[in-house]
Structure 1
Amino acid sequence: MKDIFAKDSSGEMVSPHEPGYDALIADIFATIKTATEMNTGYRTPEEVHEYMERILGKELDATTTVLPPLYIDYGKPVTIGRGCFIQQCCTFFGRGGITIGNDVFIGPKVNLITINHDPNPENRSATYGRPILIEDKVWIGINSTILPGVRIGYGAIVGAGSVVTKDVPAMTVVAGNPARVVRKITTPGQQ
């Protein structure tokens, strides 16, 4: 039988009524405590990197910049690539897994949400996760929300204020609620 951490990371439904849930919540509160410490007062870029490495439980490349405050519930299933720039006031619900590629720009107040609740009202306190994958060179505009299970393709742009409910093709611009493709991105020399 899987423990609750294995169930949670594999996307299975977990409930506050099952064994181990207290340990999962304790780990989440430990992450939130570290993030709150990082978010309280001015921190040098080096200090932010140290805090982020504690939150993630792994190295954060020196070429990546995170501007606090960052609100994050669980950092262990989150991976952030090289050359990324993550603006202020973002919220990452990381339990379902977030993978951010290289050279990704994430605007202020962006929400990456990997957790959902059971639609059954009798079991609504149970949750399950779906991973978010953000490929290289993506730009996510201010105040956008990326929902569980979404993959954003290489070089795509998510317009400001969008709610992304399904996969975004590479080299496209999406916008709206729900976000939809508004155009393809062409590079110089392309027709």
Structure 2
Amino acid sequence: MMNNPMNPPDIFQRELAGETISLSDPEYPKIAALITEAQHLIAEMNTGYHDPADVRALFGRLTGTNVDESFGLLPPFYSDFGKNIRVGRNVFINHACEFMDRGGITIGDDVLIGPKVNLVTINHPLDPTTRRSTYCAPIVLEKGVWLGAGVSVMPGVTIGENAVVAANAVVTQDVPANTVVGGIPARFIKHIDGSLEQRDAA
């Protein structure tokens, strides 16, 4: 569908569409305001002890969405934006993860995310004259994905259903469903046999 010239897309829509966004964009203060809001909420979440219900409530405020009671997160947790994170049911996020979500992060049901995982949807141009600008691409973790400790997932990557990413891997390309990948950059290791327990990923 074509954009209505009388109602052009706002900066949030343009960013989610992959447009390069400059700090000098007239609408950039809208993004900056949400970044500041996110940092206040992150500071509150990461200060002192919060019981699981309080953590869910704070995460819901950060993302601007209702969070299912089956959702679990161990602070500290970090995000640059927050409003473009969507999580399904029975998701668990271990401590010290960083979600840079301006490009959109979608996490399906039954996903396990190990400690110190980085989900990065944002990038910068190589040209030094425009390097402070940013452009984004979404990350999708489909149902049943397991990310081991210290995994980094780069912009534009989809990790298929039930896939496992071994600890400390850097994922730069899509991962097929029901496979194990590992390394830098992450490469195929094996297919998952549903009859076997996978004990060596994280």
TM-score category of the 2 structures, normalised to the smaller one: over 0.9
Stretch moving more, 81-90 or 23-32: 23-32
Give the distance between the partners of 1:9 and 1:36, measured in 2 at CA. Answer: 26
Q: Which residue of 2 aligns with 1:31?
A: 38
2:180 counterpart of 1:173 = yes
Partner of 1:80: 87
Deviation at 1:114, TM superposition (A): 0.2
Q: Which amino acid in the other structure matches residue 141 of structure 1?
A: G
Specify the SS of the correspondent of 2:155: coil
Root-mean-square deviation (Å): 1.0
Kindly provide the amino acid, as one letter, of the partner of residue 48 in structure 1.
V
Aligned to 1:127: 134
Query: Within 5 A, what are the aligned runs for 1:28-67?
Result: 28-67=35-74
- 5+ unaligned residues in a row in structure 1: which ranges? none
Distance 1:79 1:188 in 2: 30
Q: CA deviation at 1:2?
A: 2.8
> Which residue, 3, 9, 21 being the options, matches 1:2?
9
d(CA) in 1 for partners of 2:195 and 2:118? 32
Q: Percent identity?
A: 46
Shift of 1:123: 0.3
| Shift in Å, 1:63 | 0.4
TM-score of the superposed pair, with normalisation by structure 1 = 0.96
1:98 CA displacement: 0.3
What are the ranges of 5 or more consecutive residues in structure 2 without an aligned counterpart? 1-7, 197-202
Which range moved further: 28-37 or 89-98? 28-37
Amino acid in the other structure paired with 2:56: H
Question: 2-side partners of 1:11 and 1:169: how far apart?
Answer: 23
